[in-house]
Structure 1
Amino acid sequence: MSTVEMKRVIELEDKCLKIRKDLLNFIYRIGMGHLGGELSIVEMAVALYYEYMNYDPADPKMEDRDRFVLSKGHCSETLYTIFQDMGMYTMDYMVEHFETLDTAKFGMHSNRKYVPAIEVSAGSLGHGLPVAVGMALGARAKKAPWRTIVMVGDGEMDEGTNWEAIMAAGHYQLGNLVAIVDKNQVQMTGPTANVMNLDPLDKKLEAFGWEVINVEDGNDMLQVCEALEKLPKADPVTPRKPIFIISNTVKGKGVDFMEGNYKWHGGGIAKEQLEEALADVEKNRKVR
C-alpha cells in the first residue's frame, strides 16, 4: 500500500501543469529548445525540487544542500522554468539574458558560472554521471550529509564514460549517490532501441553493483513519489549499493503532436503550435 499522501501528489501535479505551460511559453519566446526531453522530465524534476531534495531556492549554495546534476544538459530550460517559479528569476529576465552576446546568463546548456543553482555545467553528454561520482566520493571524504542526484538521458547512455562511472560507483559502494535515467525511448535520430538498444538496462546496472528502482510510468506523479519515498537516508560513510532509478517516460509528454516524435528532440515552436500545445497540456492533465 502506498504511503504517499494523495493531497500532496495532486499539488505536485498542479505544479507540473504550470511548469509545462511556462516551459512552452519560454521556448516560444527564446526561439529554440529541446521540448521533447524537457517535457518528459517534468514530473521527476518537480518532485525532486519541490518535495524530495534538501534544497532552498533562497540559498542555492547552502552547505548541506542535496546536489542535483542534470547531465542531459540540453534540457536545462526545464530547470530554468522551475527556478523562475521558485522566485529566483522572472521569465522576462531569463528571456532578456538568454544567450545574449554581452549579458548572457542562461544558455541552451546550463553554465554554473552564471546560474548559482546549477551544480555542474552541461554540454557534451556523458559527463554528468562521472562528475556526480566524484561529488559523492568528495562527500564521503568530508563525511558530508548531503546526497548527490544525477539525471541522464537514455540516448546519453550510449556514452562509454557513463559506464565507467557506473562501474566506479558500484565498486566504491556510493550509497549517497542516486542516478535517474529519463528513459523516454527516443533520441535525436530515432527510437533509442533502434539507435543503440539499452535493454535489459536493469540487469546491466545490477551486474555493475547498483540497486535498481523501476518506475513504470515516470510521468505519473504518484509512481514518481513512491519511487523517491524508497530512497534511504543519505549516508556518506557506510558502504552500500548506489541507487539507479529507471524512469520510463514519454518524449514530449503532454503535447499530443510531440509525444514519441524524435523530430521534437530540438527546435522552436510557432505561435499556432504553442496555442495547440497549451491546449493539449490542459486537456491531458491527469484527474484523480
Structure 2
Amino acid sequence: MDDLKRLSAKIRLEVCRMLKKRGFGHLGGALSIVETLSVLYGDVMKINPQNPAWEDRDWFVLSKGHAGPALYATLAIRGYFPMEMLDTLNDNGTRLPSHPDRMKTPGVDVTTGSLGQGISLAVGIAKSFQLSEKSNRVYTILGDGECNEGQVWEALQFAAHHKLSNLVIFIDENHKQLDGPTQEIMELFDLKNKLEAFGFAVKRIKGNDEAEIKKTIHQMFEVKNQACCIILDTIKAQGISYFENLQDNHHIRFSGESELQLNAAIEMLERKLKGGGRLGCFS
C-alpha cells in the first residue's frame, strides 16, 4: 500500500472509531472527502504540525464543516495533537466540537459550520495573500448540497473576478444532502459548465483516487491569473459499501445492523493496515 492510500485508510479508520464511540455522527460527508484530505495533508500542503500558526503555511478551510471528524482524524495522524484526543469528539469541554473551531483545535485555520460561509472566508484569505504577494496557498472543500446557498456563488464570482490562482476549490459532489438526493432537492445541473462560465479553470475527477487528485492539483498550480476548481465525483460514505448504499447516510445513529456494519468496517480497516492498535502519526 503506498503512503497516500495508507494515510487514507488511517483517516477512514479513525473517523469510524470516533463515531462508534460517540454513537452517531456525520459519517457520509466525512468519508467522501478522506482521499482529498490525505493528498492535501500527506503530500501537497506546506504545513508544520509543531507550529500550526506558521506564517508561511498553506491554509485549509473545511467549508462543509459537518465533515469535521475527517479533518480531526487527519490532523491527529499528522501530529497536530495526540491521537487520544480523538476519543473526546463532541464531549463536554472537548477541543473537538461537532464543527471545526479555530479557537479550540490545533491545526484548524478557520471556524466553519454554517454552510456557505467557509468559501467566503477562503476567498478573503486568498485575496489577502494576493494583495500582500505572499506564496501561501488556500484550499477549501465545499459540499454539493452546500452549493444551494446563494453566498457560495457570490464568493465564487469574487474568486473568478479577482483571478485567485492561489486558491484551489474542491466541490465534493457526492450527489446527496441532508434531505435526499441533490437532484431532487435543488438541481445543480452541470457544475463544470457553470464554473467555466464564471471564468474558472475546472477539472472533474474521481474523488477516491489519490494519484488523480494529486496530479490534478499540480495541474492547477500551472494555471495563472485564473481561479481553479476541482469537482470530486464521490459517493456519500465512500469506502464502506454498506453505508454507501444506505439511503439516509448523511447523519447516522448506530444501532442494530448499522452498528454491526460499522464494527465490521473498523475490523476490515485494521486488518488492511496490519494492526488493530492506535496507528500513531503518519510521516
4+ runs of 1 displaced by more than 3 Å?
A: 98-101, 279-285
Partner residue of 1:132?
Answer: 122
1:245-270 CA distance string (max 9 Å, x none) = 00101111111111053412112334
Shift of 1:283: 8.9
In structure 1, distance between residues paired with 2:21 and 2:138: 33
Within 5 Å, give how 1:259-274 maps onto structure 2.
259-270=244-255, 271-274=259-262
Structure 2 equivalent of residue 278 of structure 1: 266
Partner of 1:179: 169
In the alignment, does 2:159 pair up with 1:169? yes
Equivalence for 1:116: 106
Q: Deviations over 1:110-152 (max 9, x none)?
A: 1111113111111210001111111111111211110111110
Inter-CA distance 33–251: structure 2 relative to 1 (3 Å threshold): same
Aligned partners of 1:255 and 1:280 also within 8 Å: no
TM-score between both structures, scaled by the size of structure 1: 0.88
Secondary structure of the residue aligned to 1:146 is coil
Cα 1:211–1:171, aligned 2, differ >3 Å: closer, same or farther? same
**Contact 2:119–2:152 (CA<8 Å) still a contact in 1?**
yes
Gapped regions of structure 1 (runs ≥ 5): 1-8
Are residues 232 and 136 of structure 1, via their aligned partners in 2, closer, same or farther at CA, if it must alter by over 3 Å? same
2:108 alignment partner AA: I
After TM superposition, give the deviation of residue 72 of structure 1 in Å: 0.2
Structure 1 CA distance, aligned partners of 2:247 and 2:45?
31
* Structure 1 residue 10: Cα displacement: 2.2
Counterpart contact for 1:187–1:262, Cα < 8 Å: no
1:232 is aligned to 2:221: yes
- Residue 82 in 1 paired to residue 74 in 2? yes
Structure 2: runs of 5+ lacking an equivalent:
274-283
Choose from 18, 25, 33 the match for 1:26: 18
For residues 208-256 of structure 1, give each alpha carbon's deviation from its aligned partner in whole angstroms, at most 9, with x where no partner exists. Answer: 11110111x110122212212212269xxxx711000001011111111
Mark the CA change 1:192 to 1:260 in structure 2 (over 3 Å): closer, same or farther: farther
2-structure distance, mates of 1:210, 1:169:
9
Which one of the candidate residues 195, 203, 208 is aligned to 1:219?
208
1:13 counterpart = 2:5? yes
Question: In structure 2, the residue corresponding to 1:182 is in which secondary structure?
Answer: strand
Secondary structure of residue in 2 paired with 1:252: coil
C-alpha contact 2:174 2:235 (8 A) present in aligned 1: yes
- In structure 1, how many angstroms separate the alpha carbons of the residues matched to 2:163 and 2:217? 19
Contact 1:256-1:277 within 8 A present in 2 as well: no
Q: Percent identity?
A: 35
Partner of 2:280: none
Could you tell me how far apart the structure 2 residues matched to 1:283 and 1:223 are?
A: 26
